[in-house]
Amino acid sequence: MKRDQKITTAMILAAGFGTRMKEMGKDTPKALLPLDHLTPLDISIQKLQKAGIQKIVINLHYLGAMIIAHLKKKNYHDLQIIFSEEKEILGTGGGIANAENHFREETILVVNSDILSDFSFMDFMENHYLKDPLASMAVWPSRNSREYALLLFDEEERLVDILPKSSEIDSQQQTGIFMGYHILTPQARSYLKPLFSSVVEDFYRPALRQKRKIVVYPHQGTWIDLGSREHYFNILERLNKGELNFQQII
């Protein structure tokens, strides 16, 4: 990617069933769970808009009509929002491929809808411009292989492997959790098909086997996965105690 190019299109993945939310996810999609006066989806959109994104594609399946109705009540100036509806859920890989006609051969920023972080999208995109990889992944440094399939990367912040859960990690190895933010070039997305699939299994692992250049961008700040009921209530408690400030996240 040339330095004078900019990423202006993003995709928010919001089609999931929210099964880890248990009974809370039956009537409300994760992206719309209330967080004070906002929702995770609102926070993601505002964060993307602040980073200069002009068009956002949102994939929908489970309770998608609620997300459409919610956003119709909002007034996001100078922002084009497009819905990519999935009759059958397509996963993280198929969902991106299914929306390909909205991307016009652009490099895009992809974000999960259930993440809160003070991560800088602008710095992330600038790093991608500088290193010119096939794809970039945001990573939160961690050695917690019990709960996560960690990313293994080298001193040049190039992705080396995606480790299975519970892998033994050498003390010298650099590892981290995939934050749910990544940048995909058109060439990266060409690995994906509009069928149920995982972006990790259908793109990242095959690209690694082919020795393609994928870089990671480590983030040392706040990263919160709202994907489970326990994590959600923990965030509500931190909000009530004043321990979390949305202005720092947006």
Q: Name the pTM for this structure.
A: 0.93
* Closest-CA residue to 218 (of 140, 143, 144, 126): 140
The residue with tokens 């051969």 is 105
Q: How confident is the model at residue 130 (pLDDT cuts 50, 70, 90)?
A: very high
In a domain, 250, yes or no: no
Which pLDDT tens digit goes with each residue over 204-249?
999 999 999 999 999 999 999 887 788 888 888 888 888 887 777 8
pLDDT of residue 100: 98
How many C-alpha atoms does 176 have within 13 Å on its Cβ side?
A: 23
**What's the mean pLDDT when you consider all of the chain?**
91
Percent of the chain with pLDDT over 70: 94
In a domain, 1, yes or no: no
Please report, as a single letter, which amino acid is at residue 18.
G
In a domain, 60, yes or no: yes
Which pLDDT tens digit goes with each residue over 52-71?
999 999 999 988 999 999 99
Q: How many domains does the chain have?
A: 1
pLDDT of residue 3: 45
The residue with tokens 């940048």 is 183
Residue 148: give its domain's CATH number.
3.90.550.10
